[in-house]
Chain A
């Protein structure tokens, strides 16, 4: 199966790989996995007092499409408010990366990861 150029670019030069300190109160973490392929994805956001995502990092163990999807999402969420980031749809990710139908689940995983990170932040802040 051929990967699109955008997937290859994110796979070879992934943006924002790494981790933030978990005990930093402005950091929230979203962890998701796909049992079917065994992929594991961690997406972290750093949120300022105004509720804007200042920075994002990810770590993904999985195929090229999963890595590209999470890399792309970390780029997209920077500078967005939590409400804006909440609106990111897997279809937007799949379209941007030209994912084939069998790899759509990778974009779903990335959408679920950012939603999980936002939920973690809201929970940390007491709702």
Chain B
């Protein structure tokens, strides 16, 4: 299913989240089970199914990584549940170092400052990758789609790092 078509939105990475939100609410209202209370059982089932589709679509389009994955899936590149190992040594070395910095946060003199510094760096790297992803997806060639897939894989590591960072932030506050 093409989630962009469901929301009647152009199939592109750049997305107005406010527009997505208002279309989501309008669609939900239209397919609300109450509207089909007097309809046939088949109509009621279809409305329930459509509501589920609308929720899935909204969830996928809202998050930039899932949106990129959906766009690539529409172009024949399936990334979700991918089991292949990622093997770019330089990138992984950098990930390892960032993980080490996070692990050592609790022992540094000024953990809050160190946390802030790492957060800034993560944000910067994420932004640069998202910009490159935007460009690659806009091109639409097979080679650029493969590059986009590689960028999505890299971004997944950075989102994971962000989660780890937020966990540590909470621990520091407690």
Contact = CB atoms under 8 A, between A and B. Distances in A.
Interface of A: 29, 31-38, 40, 42, 59, 61, 104-105, 108-109, 112-113, 116
A12 B46 CA distance: 50
A42 B87 CA distance: 11
Interface string B56-98: 0000000000000000000000011111011101011101100
Interface in B152-173: 152-154, 156-157, 159-161, 163
A44 B83 CA distance: 22
A21 B82 CA distance: 33
B95 A40 contact: yes
B89 A35 contact: no
Interface string B101-113: 0010000000000
A34 B85 CA distance: 5
Chain A interface, >50% SS class: mixed
Contact of A31 (B82, B93, B103, B156): B93
Interface residues of B, number: 25
Given A42-B96, A59-B96, A61-B99, A36 B156 contact: yes
Contact of B85 (A29, A33, A42, A59): A33
Contacts of A105: 83
A116 B92 CA distance: 13
Nearest to B92: A31
Nearest to B103: A61
Contacts of B153: 35
